Structure 1
Amino acid sequence: MNIKKHIPNFITLLNLFCGCLAVIFAVKNQLEIAAFFVFIGIFFDFFDGLAARLLNVQSELGLQLDSLADMVTSGVVPGIVMYQLFNRALNIHEAVNDGHSWSDTWHWLENEVHLLPLFGLVITLASAYRLAKFNIDENQTSSFIGLPTPANSLLILSFPLILAYQGNPTIDDIILNKWFLIVMTIVSSYLLNARISLFALKFKDWSFKNNAVKYIFLLLSVVLLVFLQFTAIPVIIILYVLISLVKK
């Protein structure tokens, strides 16, 4: 039995396990804990591909398994998180307006369900479409077409973290505004499937000459994280897209 070929798949399954835990906490509206497990899952997602390349055991099974794991960690979870953010915005609005909601509702099994928060699940649908395209696209081996689902997941998960650890009345009002959440859902879903080429953080070697853009981006990301903390994440995603466009 060749154990070596199963190592990357085991790492991918750790990503999926973290994604499942994140789903549980996101459904419970414990978004900070959900974000923690998503970050761990994305860490495993980066290293499963790296391990496969280092061990020279890339396989079609690994490719499919990786996308299935990403669908949970970076597809289902951000959709649920956006759903919960819409609910928080809705609750704040109802409190301010004496219970009068700007969201239509429907009743199912004696439960009142607000319709607007369901719009957040568009991110999950867009993620599924993006991952399906990725699996059959042979042009995304050294770069990406559209924003990768892990990057998009980091973008969405940054919002509850900013609210929890760096929030103030102004930031809270912006993030928990229905129009901000609607726009972010649309922008996020568009970027996932946009026909724009984005560089991949895959290293065939470790030389600066062949990976200058990647090293510069990683250095800038670290600096931004040190000074801006969680607020840096949306800035880093924007920077990633802009550097990719300039590089092209």
Structure 2
Amino acid sequence: MDLKRHVPNIITLLNLLSGCIAVIFAVQGSLIMAAVFVALGIFFDFFDGLAARVLDVKSEVGLQLDSLADAVTSGVVPGIVMYQMLNIALPNTSSGISTEWVVDDTFMEWNFNNLALIGLLISLASAYRLAKFNVDDRQTDSFIGLPTPANALLILSLPLILSFQPGEIVSSLILNEWFLIGLTLLSCYLLNAEVKLFALKFSDWSFKNNKIRYIFIMLCLILVILLQFAAIPVIIISYVLLSLIFGDQKKEKEVEY
């Protein structure tokens, strides 16, 4: 039995396990721990593909399993987190979670604002984006639409900023229901937009062929040092803008030739 061909799938399953644990924390309202396990899942998501390339054991099963794991870690979790954020931001809601098992006539009552369910659109848009990715042969060395891990980091950055970098202006913005609804809709759009975004895959280490990647990595380091968790949404926005700028430059050169 060739064990090495199972290594990438085992790493992918660790991604899925991290996502399942993150779901539990998110449902309980422990959004910081949910963010920790999503970050761990994204770490495994990066290395399962790397392991598959190094060991030369790519498979169709691995591709499908990777998307299923991402659907949980980078799809279900950010959707629940946005639901929790909206449940806090919207008026006349109760974010308390009862752990008692009660059988009575009130089992059909909803103790949250129905509008909070808008947050789950992120989970639906993420699943649709992953399904398209599996059948789209254009996304071998780049992405069409925002990758689900990047979108998950964008959403999970909100409770991190609130917890570790609190401020009156920042808190009032992040906990504004219209800001959260707008971000949800923007997130769903970016996930499935026909926008070509570069991938952090190095075919070689030359600056000429990887200029945009080196610039982006340096920008990320500077932003993290200066802004800490608040750097995450800035990094995601910069990622999209750099892709658009360098993509337009590439198109202009192709037209000239």
TM-score w.r.t. length of structure 1: 0.92
Matches of residues 51-130 of structure 1 in structure 2 within 5 Å?
A: 51-90=51-90, 109-130=108-129
In the alignment, which residue of structure 2 is the partner of 1:223? 222
State the number of aligned residues.
236
In the alignment, which residue of structure 2 is the partner of 1:198? 197
Matches of residues 1-248 of structure 1 in structure 2 within 5 Å?
A: 1-90=1-90, 109-248=108-247
- Asked if structure 1 preserves the Cα contact closer than 8 Å seen for 2:87 and 2:93, the reply is no
Deviations 1:96-132, CA, capped at 9 Å, x for gaps = xxxxxxxxxxx86234342110000000000010000
Q: Distance in 2 between matches of 1:94 and 1:142?
A: 45
Shift of 1:219: 1.2
- Asked if structure 1 preserves the Cα contact closer than 8 Å seen for 2:76 and 2:123, the reply is yes
Q: Please list every run of 5 or more consecutive structure 2 residues that lacks an aligned counterpart in the other structure.
A: 95-105, 248-257
Q: Which moved more, 1:38-47 or 1:211-220?
A: 211-220
Shift of 1:197: 0.1
Q: Distance in 2 between matches of 1:126 and 1:112?
A: 25
The letter for the 2-side match of 1:12 is T
Shift of 1:199: 0.4
Give me the CA root mean square deviation.
1.5
TM-score w.r.t. length of structure 2: 0.88
Q: Distance in 2 between matches of 1:108 and 1:189?
A: 32
SS in 1 for 2:90: helix
Shift of 1:49: 0.7
In the alignment, which residue of structure 1 is the partner of 2:100? none
Q: Distance in 2 between matches of 1:108 and 1:200?
A: 47
SS in 2 for 1:112: coil
Shift of 1:34: 0.3
Q: Please list every run of 5 or more consecutive structure 1 residues that lacks an aligned counterpart in the other structure.
A: 96-106
Deviations 1:126-170, CA, capped at 9 Å, x for gaps = 001000000010110100000000000000000000000001111
Change in CA separation of 1:45 and 1:153 when aligned onto 2, cut-off 3 Å: same
Q: Distance in 2 between matches of 1:163 and 1:77?
A: 18
Shift of 1:11: 0.8
Shift of 1:94: 6.7
Equivalent pairs: percent with the same residue?
Answer: 65
- Asked if structure 1 preserves the Cα contact closer than 8 Å seen for 2:174 and 2:180, the reply is yes
The letter for the 2-side match of 1:5 is R
The letter for the 1-side match of 2:159 is P
Q: Distance in 2 between matches of 1:19 and 1:108?
A: 28
